[in-house]
């Protein structure tokens, strides 16, 4: 990973020392919640994208499990910013995770502690750099997405990603890059770690929350960017399996996948078999945004360094002596 440090339960520890007991409750029962967040090396300096929204979802995900995260949002924010500063990470993936720790091993977590860790490491395009331009080939998985009446689908729970693993590995065994998962009714839900969008006749469709999807933060970003550009977005759509084959364009969205075109579904060519024009426009809008080549949605960015090119990180304020020190150890970064 080329990273030396992880934040764990209030302390910065060496990467190899960030361990848990083998009888940790979350290991046995999947009782953990997590987030995947990206920090981008923007033209204004490294900035975490939509950190507040990710952090809010982390706390919301914990609620159905009666999990009380023993740190405030401010404490987790400062820990994350300090972790990125210590490792001098400019473009990276950030993984906060909270889980029931070691104690009682009954199914009920009882009085088990809630452990929290934050790791960050460099991570490029999730489905490959070429996928962003050429698109990916996917298959409809034989595994179905669980319903919200069975397990809360809008909680980002560690144990639920067994479903994603099964779908994704099935696709890769069959020569595809990724899977699409249907819900129990047989309609389109999402990918193993991505939301999905369909374009037909110039309008944009994406499955609604009632279709057993995770309410993705990149999904929300794409919807806003599309509406900003005048597109009609149906964000509570029900999409049948057959509609995928007749779509003009399809693409995935997600923190890891960003905006990735889909060129084939079960060997059926979608549109012209490449990145369609609407997908390309939204993908370009997304990358312009995260690189800060536009001033739009400034509230979505939390800068790692307090001062850079006139930008002030709203999460923290540094003393004058600290800023002087940072100028010394990171010449050219601060001004």
8 A C-beta contact, residue 251 and residue 196: yes
Q: Where are the beta strands (DSSP E) in the chain?
A: 5-8, 11-14, 32-34, 37-42, 45-49, 92-100, 114-121, 136-144, 178-182, 188-190, 195-200, 203-207, 233-237, 249-254, 258-265, 268-269, 301-303, 307-308, 311-312
Tell me which residues are annotated as active site. 156
Q: How many helices (H) and strands (E) does the chain have?
A: 9, 19
CA distance 273 to 318: 51
- Listing DSSP states for 104-171 in one string gives --SSS-TT--EEEEEEEE----TT-HHHHHH-EEEEEEEEEPPPTTTS-TTS-BTTTHHHHHHHHHHH
CA distance 39 to 21: 30
Burial category of 195 from C-beta neighbours within 10 Å (exposed 0-12, middle 13-18, buried 19 and up): buried
Structure tokens at 242: 């057959």
CA distance 213 to 195: 8
């Amino acid at each position: 990973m080329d990273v030396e440090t992880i934040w764990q339960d209030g302390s910065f520890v060496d990467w190899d020392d960030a361990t848990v007991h083998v009888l940790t409750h979350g290991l046995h029962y999947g009782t953990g919640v997590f987030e995947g967040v990206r920090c981008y090396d923007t033209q204004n300096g490294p900035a975490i994208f939509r950190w507040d929204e990710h952090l809010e979802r982390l706390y919301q995900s914990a609620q159905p499990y009666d999990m009380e995260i023993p740190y405030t949002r401010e404490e987790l924010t400062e820990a994350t910013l300090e972790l990125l500063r210590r490792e001098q990470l400019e473009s990276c993936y950030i993984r906060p995770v909270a889980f029931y720790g070691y104690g009682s091993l009954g199914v009920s977590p009882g009085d088990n502690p809630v452990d929290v860790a934050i790791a960050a490491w460099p991570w490029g395009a999730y489905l490959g750099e070429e996928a962003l331009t050429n698109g990916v080939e996917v298959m409809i998985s034989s595994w179905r997405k669980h319903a919200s009446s069975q397990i809360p689908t809008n909680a980002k729970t560690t144990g639920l990603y067994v479903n994603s693993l099964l779908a994704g590995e099935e696709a890769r065994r069959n020569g595809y890059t990724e899977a699409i998962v249907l819900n129990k009714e047989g309609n389109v839900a999402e990918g193993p770690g991505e939301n999905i969008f369909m374009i037909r006749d110039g309008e944009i469709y994406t499955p609604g929350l009632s279709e057993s999807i995770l309410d993705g933060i990149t999904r929300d970003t794409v919807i806003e960017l599309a509406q900003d550009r005048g597109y009609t977005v149906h964000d509570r759509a029900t999409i049948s399996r057959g509609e995928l084959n007749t779509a003009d364009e399809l693409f995935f969205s997600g923190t890891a996948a960003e905006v990735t075109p889909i060129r084939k579904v079960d060997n059926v060519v979608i549109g012209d078999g490449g990145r369609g024009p609407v997908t390309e426009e939204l993908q370009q809008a997304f990358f312009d945004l995260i690189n800060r080549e536009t001033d739009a949605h400034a509230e979505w960015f939390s800068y790692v360094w307090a001062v850079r090119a006139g930008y002030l990180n709203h999460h923290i304020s540094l003393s004058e002596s600290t800023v002087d020190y940072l100028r010394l150890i990171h010449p050219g970064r601060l001004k």
